[in-house]
Structure 1
Amino acid sequence: MKLFRFAVVATGLMLAGLAPASAQTFSNAFAGFGSNDAEPIQIEAESLEVQDKSNSATFTGNVVVSQGESQLKTQNLVVFYAGSAAGNVQQSISRLEARGRVYISSKDQTATGDEASFDMDRQIMVMTGDKVVLSQGENVVVGNKLTVNLKTGKADLQAPSTGRVKVLIQPRSVQGN
């Protein structure tokens, strides 16, 4: 039963398919997991605990999730699944929660924060932290709460209550050099 639940979790991570964001200089910052069904997903962690009563699986200790050129790193990843795995397994994942210095990368693009949650029903990803940093090459955007609509790609980065969103765009990156 635990092996089957593990397969459900791995399929759910594929679903987390961080869809492309619409920001001008970070247009593909969330492309990656799930974008290529032909690519296998590999998960490494120090431990895995499956809790059937709460319909969850928890990966802990230097968790690394890889698919193709995309990677998610965190200290703790909890995957929540709804109902039975009968039928379409991909639809059984309801939520993913990553805690402990979350790092998402794909090619030259990265996003970092303290926590990230993926609501699979609403297709919303929220990353929070003292500093949420998006970077593509030398271009950097900093805030403290990033919300991405995974269906539309719309991204919203908010500033801390006592600060401002900061953006650094290198001129040569805008010119295409």
Structure 2
Amino acid sequence: MSGFLKSAIAGTFCLLSLAAASQAQTFSNAFAGFGSSDKEPIQIEASELQVEDKSNSATFTGSVVVSQGETRMKTDHLKVFYDGSAAGDVQQKISRLEASGSVYISSKDQTATGDQASFDMTKEIMVMTGKEVVLSQGPNVVVGNKLTVNLKTGKADLQAPSSGRVKVLIQPNSLNKK
């Protein structure tokens, strides 16, 4: 956990807004697993797979589970776009992942849920959207409706719905426990 985040939880309204931004950044680690390591394979399991060679894509449906290292994603539907032929080394050539339907991502004690998520492996950007995008780390929770994470730098941006606000719940002393 970053030192900035620990010190940001001071209790004043001004510092609460800083804590919200810092809390969102810590969640970027949960997403950095996909595509950031060429040493770890990406494993995908599903009820059904359809490969579309002409569009260089593969569609997984039915209780889809994606794993890479300590990062795991569960979703109803996943479309994988790749460069080159499906007969080649697809994991090295994945250019984009698009997940939809109850997207759940976890890594260690961090989780994120939303309705849709896309991973652009070339730009190293992940975007998760939904009626509510909920990020949690232990008892701490951040809620918005659009999360954008730069997988390379770890910078995260959580936006509120047009008619709402980003919500943050930080439990006292929860970040001091290891």
The TM tier, using the shorter chain, reads 0.7 to 0.9
Instruction: Supply the AA of the counterpart residue of 1:133.
Output: V
**Structure 2: distance between partners of 1:22 and 1:119:** 23
In terms of mean alpha carbon deviation, does 158-167 or 90-99 score higher?
90-99
SS state at 1:173 partner: coil
Aligned to 2:150: 149
What residue is the counterpart of 2:133 in the other structure?
132
Query: 2:76 touches 2:100 (CA, 8 Å); kept in 1?
Result: yes
Match in the other structure for 1:80: 81
Q: Which residue of the partner structure matches residue 101 of structure 1?
A: 102
Q: TM-score, normalised by structure 1?
A: 0.77
Match of 2:52 in 1: 51
1:108-135 Cα deviation digits (max 9, x unpaired): 1100000000111211100000000000
Q: Give the stretch that moved more between structures: 141-150 or 79-88.
A: 79-88
Q: Supply the distance in 1 between the matched residues of 2:109 and 2:37 (Cα, whole angstroms).
A: 18
SS at match of 1:28: helix
72-81 or 61-70, larger mean C-alpha shift: 61-70
Equivalent residues of 2:74, 2:104 under 8 A apart: yes
Q: Is the 8 A contact 2:28 2:149 kept in 1?
A: no
- Bigger mean CA deviation after superposition, 98-107 or 86-95: 86-95
Q: Unpaired segments of 5 or more residues in structure 2?
A: 1-21
CA contact (8 A) 1:25 1:139 kept: no
Asked whether the equivalents of residues 32 and 151 of structure 2 are also in contact (C-alpha less than 8 Å), the reply is: no
CA distance in 2, matches of 1:133, 1:39: 27
CA RMSD of aligned residues (A): 2.6
In the alignment, which residue of structure 2 is the partner of 1:64?
65
Moved more, 88-97 or 62-71: 88-97
How far apart, CA to CA, are the structure 2 residues paired with 1:49 and 1:152? 34
- Check 1:145–1:90 CA distance in 2 against 1; reply closer, same or farther (3 A cut): same
Q: In the alignment, which residue of structure 2 is the partner of 1:5?
A: none
Instruction: Output the CA distance in 2 between the equivalents of 1:175 and 1:146.
Output: 26
With structure 2 as the length reference, what TM-score do the two structures score? 0.77
Mean alpha-carbon deviation: is it higher for 114-123 or for 25-34? Answer: 25-34
Q: Is the 8 A contact 1:84 1:92 kept in 2?
A: no
DSSP-derived class of the 2:31 partner: coil
CA distance in 2, matches of 1:27, 1:54: 30
Could you say if the C-alpha distance between residues 39 and 95 of structure 1 is closer, same or farther in structure 2, counting changes exceeding 3 Å? Answer: closer
Indicate the residue corresponding to 2:162 in structure 1: 161
**Which stretch has the larger CA shift, 24-33 or 74-83?**
24-33
Deviation at 1:66, TM superposition (A): 2.3
> Where do 5+ consecutive residues of structure 1 fail to align?
1-20
